[in-house]
Amino acid sequence: MRIDVLSLFPNMFTGVLNESILKRAKEIGKVEYNVINFREYANNKHNTVDDYPYGGGAGMVLKPEPIFNAVESIKAKTSSKPRVILLCPQGEQYTQKKAEELAKEEHLVFICGHYEGYDERIRMHLVTDEISIGDYVLTGGELGAMVIIDSVVRLLPGVLGNEDSPVLDSFSTGLLEHPQYTRPAEFRGMKVPDVLLSGNHQLIEEWRRKQSLKRTLERRPDLLHHYPLSDQDKKWLEEIKAKKHDSNL
């Protein structure tokens, strides 16, 4: 996969792309990163990338020329047809499903904005996706781009040591992940559940499934509204709800 990032602050990405899983993915040849300062593509002597909005108003707006020029330059150097992603609070809410979709692409281009917003022609005629990582406002799109890149790159085949890891993550299955434990079996009087020490894999899988359902019900019940529950899932959920009701009496 090739990932190009257009940013006015490219140094923000230096640490993130050169540590942990993102660094490993680059080293084993699964991804190539290119962080580009789109100020270099401005077509005026002062390299200006923003201007006052027509009609008046607060703040400055990113001009179309530098961003169009930068994206067109990227496209001219590759035969792939990239997904061009605009980081924007008006975009669709980012989800694990979207991460899985983007992980199948060969080439992603991220546009990180600043100031009051983008010239609308960028949104209408250049980008393929508008994405928001949450209902809050950041200083710029860099942090959002980092979040998306991290969530996508870890899904590329061979990046994580255990191929089952991304499949079993919270949200990948549609439910929150079950509790995890490791050694020691007892720590400061707190014990690992006996079933996990039993060696009975069927019981362990049942326990994990029940715990996943329980945690989802307690923390993100909205995820259950459209999740395809099996008959056994429904039975376990009823048991969980009954125990919760009894404990509240």
163 within a domain of the structure (yes/no): no
For the residues 110-125, what does the mean pLDDT come to? 93
225 within a domain of the structure (yes/no): yes
Q: What is the pLDDT of residues 29-77, one digit of tens each?
A: 999 999 999 999 999 889 999 999 999 988 899 999 999 999 999 999 9
Q: How many domains does the chain have?
A: 2
Claim to verify: residue 76 and residue 185 sit in the same structural domain: no
167 within a domain of the structure (yes/no): no
192 is in an annotated binding site: no
Claim to verify: residue 88 and residue 125 sit in the same structural domain: yes
195 within a domain of the structure (yes/no): yes
137 is in an annotated binding site: yes
Claim to verify: residue 95 and residue 191 sit in the same structural domain: no
141 is in an annotated binding site: no
Long-range contacts of 156-160 (CB under 8 A, 24+ apart): 156/1, 156/25, 156/30, 156/31, 156/103, 157/30, 158/28, 158/30, 159/21, 159/24, 159/25, 159/28, 159/30, 160/21
State residue 15's pLDDT score. Answer: 97
Claim to verify: residue 137 and residue 178 sit in the same structural domain: no
Instruction: State the chain's mean pLDDT as an integer.
Output: 94
* Residues carrying an active site annotation: 89, 116, 154, 169
For the residues 123-141, what does the mean pLDDT come to? 96
d(CA 2, CA 77): 12
State residue 169's pLDDT score. Answer: 67
159 within a domain of the structure (yes/no): no
86 is in an annotated binding site: no
Per-residue confidence band for 246, with pLDDT thresholds at 50, 70 and 90 = confident
**What range defines the domain where residue 189 resides?**
173-248
12 within a domain of the structure (yes/no): yes
Domain C-terminal end among 153, 184, 209: 153
Claim to verify: residue 206 and residue 116 sit in the same structural domain: no
182 within a domain of the structure (yes/no): yes
**Res. 248: pLDDT tops 70:** yes
Claim to verify: residue 36 and residue 70 sit in the same structural domain: yes
**Res. 163: pLDDT tops 80:** no
CATH code for the domain in which residue 207 is found: 1.10.1270.20
pTM tops 0.95, yes or no: no
Q: Which residues contact 78 (CB under 8 A, 6 or more apart)?
A: 2, 107
